[in-house]
Structure 1
Amino acid sequence: MLKVKLLNQGVDVYLMDAFTFNARGGNPAGVVFLTSEIADEEKLLIANQVGVSETAFVIKRPDGDFDVTFFTPEAEVDFCGHATLATFFCMRSLGFVKEGEYRQHTKAGMLNVVVTSSNIVMEQVLPSTRIGPSAKAVSEALGVSEEVILRTGLPIEIVSTGLPDIIVPVEVGMLDRLNPDYQLIEKISREYRTIGLHVFEFSHDGFFSAQCRNYAPLFGINEEAATGSASGALGCYLVKHMKLRDKIFRFGQGRAMKSQSMIQVMIDIDNHSIVRVRVGGTAKLNKKVKVII
């Protein structure tokens, strides 16, 4: 497609909070609607100016689908769950889409998104897994003892449902006591070719399945309040290692950031294999700003 120069032109950016909980909290995302393609360098400049963890760039295709690309302030990523939620909630709020099923084309593949009156549900790719770093290395990066991880009896594993994250279990009561070393997390992420660490502890409050924290300093995100891609990966991880009958999860994230968020995850199983991964939630529109690059 033609690369359109936007230098010295204003770009409208919708600032959203994605995966809100009781209309509060959530993870900020930017949404930019384009009528034609622009250079990746310009998208990165815009995302850097916006300054939130991810900004989505959306183009409507002639067939009615949407091309969506995602940029952190530092680099492009193949997929972003919370920015997908923000994008489709924003389009619904502006009247660009109605209730129904849509398809978005991303670097992670073509993914279905269902828009309802109450939430947005996105499909993610089926999980792939590989061995993660040692508990010793991860515990040092999180500022806790190795036993905090080992006593859970669960492994550290790299899981991807669109983006690879290192899934890390910790003992209940330890999540808010982590003292992350972002340089060490960045080193581990680079060595294992992942986005970052997704750390969780089980919740016993009867509402959330688990509370989580996500660290991705390699991509300019020390911590974020809701991570859709990693939540899908965590749901697959729990189904695999816990042999749970319940395949529907509510994950909390952002508690330590004073921005409690909620991510819904639904895992479909057929003949003991995962056949579909869906992640859903709600969002809210904060404001529209103009960015000059």
Structure 2
Amino acid sequence: MTTPSASATAMHLSLTVLLVNAFTDNGSGGNPAGVVLDAPDLTCEQKTDIARQVGYSETAFVQTGSDADFHVEFYTPEGEVDFCGHATVATFSAMRDQGHLQPGHYTQKTKAGILGIEIETDVVRMEQALPQTRPGPAVDSVCRALGIPEAAIRDTQLPIEIISTGLPDILVPVASGYLSRLQPNFQHLAECSRNFEAIGFHVFELGEDEMITAHCRNFAPLYGIDEEAATGSGNGALSCYLAKHCYPGKTQFRFEQGLAMGSPSSIEAALEYSCQSITRVMVQGKATIIGQRDITYA
């Protein structure tokens, strides 16, 4: 890889951030992430400041690793998170498209563990942590935060659960027709996320045909993200939820997200099993470099 442009002026340094749309659908839509290749040694405060200047939900900082091929850190404008799916797809797609990596198998070390990466000519497939599940908040509090009647959730006869395949999301099922009618109260969503030690809410309604398993929206205002157009970790968790409650033994999932934001995105997930237990979680998508920014920091 080529070291980002880093130069010192009186009291400041600069570096180049690649801007990458991840989980695009037919070349459009997707969720943008910042990617800093060959990241210099930076403090948490500096990385948070850079992420804030980039202005996307997450920015990835990449270094060559010793115990894995790469060490990758993920920062929101509010601080570090353990893992980010769309920024992972953005990172390894960018390294492939800039000629730093060839299609093949790699590993990345994150705060969610050392995870496998498979690069193909147009797709990046990433391994996620095995699911960890715990009870979610009560229906009434979730409905108040989302601005919907309780029947919108109760009619699904599905539970609210918190599942993590790298980041803990509150998974919320809603009946058909309600996903587009949400009126989220971001303060209440942030408070509930904090109280339940979750990143945010991943709200879904089941698809009406085999083409799309579920339609989704994701809210993480606790981390400065009101809504995201595509979330790899949230949909990895959702595939595990659906395999448990709706489609036992199902191996392939396709999720649509971002429609409410005018940025429709496509996320695919795959599960492997042994003795009816999930043994591997993989999420894949496409990405496109849309530009770059030179960021100055102290």
TM-score by length of 2: 0.95
Q: How far has the Cα of 1:244 moved from its partner?
A: 3.1
Contact conserved, 1:35 with 1:60, CA < 8 A, in 2? no
TM-align CA RMSD:
1.5
Residue 234 of structure 2 is aligned to residue 230 of structure 1: yes
Kept after mapping to 1: 8 A contact 2:137/2:160 = yes
Matched, 1:142 2:146: yes
Unaligned runs of 5+ in 2: 1-5
Moved over 4 A (4+): 4-7
Distance 1:181 1:116 in 2: 40
1:76 partner SS: strand
Match of 2:3?
none
TM-superposition CA deviations, 1:102-141 (whole Å, max 9, x none): 0000011000000001200000000000000001000000
State whether structure 2 residue 291 is matched by structure 1 residue 264.
Answer: no
Structure 1, 33-42 or 122-131: larger mean CA deviation: 33-42
* Paired residue secondary structure (2:100): coil
Provide the aligned length of Structure 1 versus Structure 2.
290
Larger mean CA deviation between 282-291 and 54-63 belongs to: 54-63
1:204 is displaced (CA, Å) by 1.1
1:39 is displaced (CA, Å) by 1.2
Indicate the residue corresponding to 2:109 in structure 1: 105
AA aligned opposite 1:270 = S
Residue 84 of structure 1 deviates from its aligned partner by 0.3
Match of 1:252 among 244, 249, 256: 256
Aligned partner of 1:160 in structure 2 is 164
User: What's the CA shift string for 1:221-256, capped at 9, x where partnerless?
Assistant: 000000000100000000011143432100000000
Q: Contact 2:7 / 2:15 at 8 angstroms: preserved in 1? A: no
Distance 1:39 1:214 in 2: 29
Give the TM-score of the pair, scaled to structure 1: 0.96
Moved more, 237-246 or 45-54: 237-246
1:201 equivalent among 197, 200, 205? 205
Aligned equivalents of 1:15, 1:56: Cα separation in 2: 10
**TM-superposition CA deviations, 1:49-100 (whole Å, max 9, x none):** 0010000000012567000000000010000000000000000011111000
The Cα offsets for residues 235-293 of structure 1, whole Å up to 9 and x where unpaired, read as: 00000111434321000000000100010000111101000000000000000110111
Structure 2 CA distance, aligned partners of 1:275 and 1:175? 31
Q: Report the alpha carbon displacement of residue 35 of structure 1 after superposing the two structures with TM.
A: 5.0
- 8 A Cα contact 1:5 1:39, kept in partner: no
Rounded Cα–Cα distance in structure 1 between residues aligned with 2:39 and 2:282: 29
Tell me, yes or no, if the aligned pair for 1:37 and 1:59 is still in contact at 8 Å.
Answer: no
Do the aligned partners of 1:5 and 1:38 also contact (CA within 8 Å) in 2?
no
Letter of the 1:93 partner, please give it. Answer: D
For residues 272 and 63 of structure 1, the distance between their equivalents in structure 2, rounded to whole angstroms, comes to 32
Q: Confirm whether residue 169 of structure 1 aligns to residue 173 of structure 2.
A: yes
1: CA distance, partners of 2:12 / 2:27? 36
Counterpart residue identity of residue 128, structure 2? Q
Give the 3-state SS of the residue equivalent to 1:34 in structure 2. Answer: coil
Amino acid at match of 1:119: V
Structure 1: runs of 5+ lacking an equivalent: none
Q: Give the superposition deviation at 1:206.
A: 3.6
Q: Name the % identity.
A: 50
Note if 1:11 corresponds to 2:15.
Answer: yes
For 1:162-205, what per-residue CA distance to the aligned partner results, in whole angstroms no more than 9, with x for missing partners?
A: 00000000001110110000000001000000000000001114
Q: Which amino acid aligns with 2:122?
A: S
Structure 1 CA distance, aligned partners of 2:221 and 2:128?
23
Match 1:181 to one of 182, 185, 208: 185
Which secondary structure state, in structure 2, belongs to the residue aligned with residue 238 of structure 1? helix
Q: CA deviation at 1:216?
A: 0.1
Aligned to 2:289: 285
In structure 2, distance between residues paired with 1:75 and 1:139? 28
The answer to whether structure 1 residue 68 and structure 2 residue 72 are counterparts is yes
Within 1, Cα distance between the matches of 2:284 and 2:114? 17
**How far did residue 37 of structure 1 move?**
2.4
Q: What secondary structure is seen at the aligned counterpart in 1 of 2:37?
A: strand
